[in-house]
Amino acid sequence: MPDNASALQLVLSGDPALFSIVLLAMIVSLSAVLLAALIGVPLGALIALTSFRGRDGAIVLLNTLMGLPPVVIGLLVYLALSRSGPLGAWGLLFTPQAMVIAQTILVAPIIAALSRQTIEDLWLEYRDELTAMNVPWPGRVGTLIWDARFSLITALLAGFGRAAAEVGAVIIVGGNIEGHTRTMTTAIALETSKGDLPLAIGLGIVLMAIVLMVNALAWVVRRAAERVAG
């Protein structure tokens, strides 16, 4: 990024370096949220609908994992992906893929815990009906997830917010490499360390604006879908 430029100027001038940073940040966080949803929603549904020994413990554990510090996840993924670690042969350390892995681990418990709560509430409402109709297991899970889909969007957005805002995990496993693994949050950390506080704040405002747009888009989609579903 050029010297002496405010973040607003960078946005208005369509600065290619800023654009690639924003694009990478969005690709990484959205990929992580989608992968985490594929893991978290079914897992949440499973816990919601089943009763097993230690279920209360599993729920408390899942809720606790929502608070996993990103820096701890970053460190664990770093050690796993390092050339000296168990998955070192993959050669993924300091790549965008490593960032997706770390953020997926960060976000999956949030989506699973929120999905579990949402689906369990709905299950209490539907249980008698679904049991009376003798709906088989996969059908029950499917119906519940489908009918809870609008509430589940909120769970996904919570996960996206966490992924887009974190810096601790991506800076460790991505390395904040210019043009390769630099995202919005790691760029903000870098500009702060260079003492360019106005640019750092400006980038922060750009990040907030993007998260706002994603949320607004999700809201519009939800409203439109609700009207159609009527």
Partner 1 sequence: MKIHRRSLALMAIAVLSSAAAAPALAQAPSILVASTTSTQDSGLFGHLLPLFKAATGIEVKVVALGTGQALDVGRRGDADVVFVHARSEEEKFQAEGFGVRRHPVMYNDFVLIGPKSDPAGVQGSTDIAAALRAIKDRKLPFVSRGDRSGTHVAELRLWKDAGVDIAADKGDWYKAIGQGMGAALNTAAAANAYLLADRGTWLAFRNKADLAIVVQGDKRLFNQYGVMLVNPARHPTVKKEAGQRFIDWLVSPQGQRAIADYKVGGEPLFFPNAGDPNA
Task: Work out whether 178 is an interface residue with partner 1 (CB under 8 A).
Answer: yes
Task: Work out whether 160 is an interface residue with partner 1 (CB under 8 A).
Answer: no
Question: In 3-state terms, what secondary structure has residue 67?
Answer: coil
Task: Work out whether 175 is an interface residue with partner 1 (CB under 8 A).
Answer: yes
DSSP 74-105: HHHHHHHHSTTSTTGGG--TTSHHHHHHHHHH
Residues 154, 99, 204: CA angle, nearest 5 degrees? 65
Contact predicate 65/113, CB 8 Å = yes
**Which residue's CB is nearer to partner 1, number 139 or number 216?**
139
Instruction: Give the Å distances, CA to CA, from 65 to 45, 56, 107, 109, 185.
Output: 17, 14, 9, 6, 22
Range in contact with partner 1 (rule: CB under 8 A) among 35-43, 106-114, 211-219, 221-229: 35-43
Minimum distance between the CB of residue 93 and partner 1, rounded to whole angstroms? Answer: 5
Nearest to 35 by CA among 119, 117, 101, 94: 101
Task: Work out whether 176 is an interface residue with partner 1 (CB under 8 A).
Answer: yes
Range in contact with partner 1 (rule: CB under 8 A) among 61-69, 87-95, 105-113, 217-225: 87-95
Site of interaction with partner 1 (CB under 8 A): 24, 27-28, 30-31, 34-35, 37-38, 82-85, 88, 91, 93-97, 100, 142-143, 145-146, 149, 175-178, 180, 190, 192-197
